[in-house]
Structure 1
Amino acid sequence: MEPKKYDINIEQLFRDDLHQYLLSIGMVDERLPEAQDIEELWLKIGESYLPDGMREFRDYPTVSLGWMMFVGMAIAKYWDTDWELYSKVDDLYKYLRDQRDFDHMDEYVCEKVLLLDEEQQAAMAKTVGECASRTYNLLCHRHLEPGTSEAFRAYVAALHQMYLMGMAMELKRLGYHMTKLN
């Protein structure tokens, strides 16, 4: 899952679009967080997520993309609350998914991990839905042939940015503000 030159360009496209959108609605800071512990988990989480995400993508592309944003949020919350405990969980994606199931993972994350009330859950679902729709739209406009390695790499790049933006959103919600030091 190492990015190639093309992947970096498309991944930057996803990153820039998501960042600008989330910045415009106050969900992230201008400077995105660097959380090495969370970022280092991407490869393992991404690989674990792929079978479920790919299965869902054909019929529910925005769910396939959006659920990864919820995973990023949950990992950031775990990092903040008890990383010593959660860092020992062998597969945090499967841990989250198996609390209920894939279809209801978003609800579990919102209710039990992020502890959002109903109004906050609705707002979060709307934000994640918009991010997933924007990212899917960008994927579609690349005119990638389904089933090709290029399409697969673009999908993984999209998931990666959804994960990182989920992390950034939750860290900001938790009070971590990223500012440039002088």
Structure 2
Amino acid sequence: MEDTTQYFDKYEENLQREILKMCSSLGMLDGELLASEDIDFKWKEWAPEYIAVALPEVNNYPDFAIACAGYAGMAAAHWWDEDWGRHHSAEFDSLLGPRGFDDMDEHIVQKILGLTLDSVEAKQIMNILLCCAQKASTFIRHEQIEHQTVKAFHIFARTVKVMFRTGAALELKRLGYKFQKVDLNRQLPS
């Protein structure tokens, strides 16, 4: 089991590194994965429900099934910035659109992020998440995993976790967050 866990950990690290590199090269991130423990915890809460609705879509719409985790991450980050006290208990169902999972992306962009679908920002978000999902799909194919196996399930779960964290980082960056070096040895004014 230890070897299996290490395999999945390495897969997740490599995928996250490559997606971060791609997002940074496109100017969407700055080489750092912005994150918050609150947001990461939200994924742990939402992941079982997300996987339950996304997994059946993988065969017909693999990129969409993967990309929507990025939208979920953006929603969590947006709510974290807006008013986490009010939104921290948001249920997974609040991410779904009128057609359920089928229009989750549009629902999040319009109703949670507050963007019109034809806006430059919305198109940029949709393009970067599609690129990330396509990169993730390529990563999965390179693993040459037999479909509908336990290993395939775990790879999918790790992949959508990476997408969630990437979506959260993209939204935090869009909202103006950044890592800033702090000099802990600096003397404070008296």
> TM-score interval w.r.t. the shorter chain?
over 0.9
Which residue type is aligned with residue 113 of structure 1?
I
C-alpha displacement at 1:120, in angstroms?
A: 2.0
The aligned residue for residue 9 of structure 2 is: 8
The aligned residue for residue 93 of structure 2 is: 94
C-alpha displacement at 1:100, in angstroms?
A: 4.8
Name whichever of 129-138 and 100-109 sits farther off. 100-109
Looking at both structures, which has the greater relative contact order when contacts are Cα pairs under 8 Å and sequence separation is at least 6?
A: 1
CA offsets per residue over residues 120-174 of structure 1, 9 Å max, x none? 2222211111110010011011101112211111111100000000000000000
Question: For the residues of structure 1 that align with 2:102 and 2:125, how far apart are their CA atoms?
Answer: 16
Task: Please tell me whether the aligned partners of residues 97 and 106 of structure 2 are also in contact (alpha carbons under 8 angstroms).
Answer: no
Counterparts of 1:138-149 in structure 2, within 5 Å, are 138-149=139-150
C-alpha displacement at 1:66, in angstroms?
A: 0.3
Counterparts of 1:107-126 in structure 2, within 5 Å, are 107-117=106-116, 118=118, 119-126=120-127
Task: Please tell me whether the aligned partners of residues 42 and 76 of structure 2 are also in contact (alpha carbons under 8 angstroms).
Answer: no
Name whichever of 133-142 and 98-107 sits farther off. 98-107
What is the SS of the residue equivalent to 1:145? coil
Structure 2 spans left out of the alignment, 5+ residues: 184-190
Which residue type is aligned with residue 42 of structure 2?
L
Counterparts of 1:1-182 in structure 2, within 5 Å, are 4-89=5-90, 91=91, 93-98=92-97, 100-117=99-116, 118=118, 119-182=120-183
Task: Please tell me whether the aligned partners of residues 97 and 107 of structure 2 are also in contact (alpha carbons under 8 angstroms).
Answer: no
Question: For the residues of structure 2 that align with 1:13 and 1:121, how far apart are their CA atoms?
Answer: 28
Which residue type is aligned with residue 108 of structure 1?
H
Task: Please tell me whether the aligned partners of residues 70 and 165 of structure 2 are also in contact (alpha carbons under 8 angstroms).
Answer: yes
Question: For the residues of structure 2 that align with 1:18 and 1:83, how far apart are their CA atoms?
Answer: 27
Name whichever of 24-33 and 62-71 sits farther off. 24-33
Quote the RMSD (CA, aligned, Å): 1.5
Question: For the residues of structure 1 that align with 2:63 and 2:157, how far apart are their CA atoms?
Answer: 14
Percent of residue pairs identical: 28
Question: For the residues of structure 2 that align with 1:116 and 1:32, how far apart are their CA atoms?
Answer: 23
C-alpha displacement at 1:82, in angstroms?
A: 1.1
